[in-house]
Amino acid sequence: MSRIGKHPVPIPDGVTVEISGRQVTAKGKLGELQVTLMEEVVVKRDGDQIVVRPRDDSDRAQQMWGTARSVINNLVTGVAEGFTRGLEINGVGYRAQIQGKDLVLQLGFSHEVRYPVPEGITVQCPDQTHISVSGADKQRVGQTAAEIRAFRPPEPYKGKGIKYADEYILRKEGKKK
């Protein structure tokens, strides 16, 4: 039995949720998101909350129960509050800035790296060594942050590169004489 799936998803004020078959649509102050759920779960609205149940007792239905609940919760939270992922840049001469709709990174290469910001995602640089990726869709925010980090992942000796704000870099000892 799913421990996550048992809990209903509360609908906050200012968010409207429409359920039509397997399609769930949420509208809020940050936009509109929709998802098509798998066939193994049943979604119902119960007042100001959404309840997810497995369709039958199969293993697949039990597995998808908690997953569907988490996807719906991310949908509702995204249109109400949004998601933010922070990145930090470490290294001499490494910096980031926004130019128009592009994120421009100087990461020690012979050229600057230009990353076009996807639609629906907001990228901000409060200073040259911090990047904030935010948006309503949790998956797209995480994917965008991962793509930016992939330009120069942190290395284990000096910690140079782009890392998540909450990431800890396991350091290695340099060579000995």
In a domain, 96, yes or no: yes
H runs (alpha helix) in 33-157? 59-80, 138-149
Q: What is the CATH number of the domain that holds 51?
A: 3.90.930.12
In a domain, 87, yes or no: yes
Whether residues 17 and 69 share a domain: the answer is yes
Whether residues 159 and 92 share a domain: the answer is yes
Instruction: From 26, 55, 80, give the residue that closes a domain.
Output: 80
Taking Cα atoms as reference points, which of 101, 87, 79 lies closest to residue 142?
87
Percent above pLDDT 90 for the chain: 89
* Model pLDDT for residues 78-93, shown as the tens digit of each residue: 999 999 999 999 999 9
Whether residues 45 and 95 share a domain: the answer is no
In a domain, 2, yes or no: no
Question: Across the chain, what does the average pLDDT equal?
Answer: 93
In the three-class reduction of DSSP (H, G, I as helix; E, B as strand; rest coil), residue 105 is classed as: strand
Considering the entire predicted model, what is its pTM? Answer: 0.89
In a domain, 159, yes or no: yes
* Model pLDDT for residues 87-142, shown as the tens digit of each residue: 999 999 999 999 999 999 999 999 999 999 999 999 999 999 999 999 999 999 99
Whether residues 87 and 158 share a domain: the answer is yes
Domain count, the chain: 2
CB 148 within 8 A of CB 103: yes
Whether 148 has a pLDDT exceeding 90, the answer reads yes
Q: What domain range includes position 23? A: 9-80
Instruction: From 62, 80, 98, give the residue that closes a domain.
Output: 80
* Model pLDDT for residues 10-59, shown as the tens digit of each residue: 999 999 999 998 899 999 999 999 999 999 999 999 989 999 999 998 99
Q: Which two tokens stand for residue 22?
A: 């397997």
- Give residue 151's pLDDT band: very low, low, confident or very high (50, 70, 90): very high
In a domain, 109, yes or no: yes
Instruction: From 39, 65, 80, give the residue that closes a domain.
Output: 80
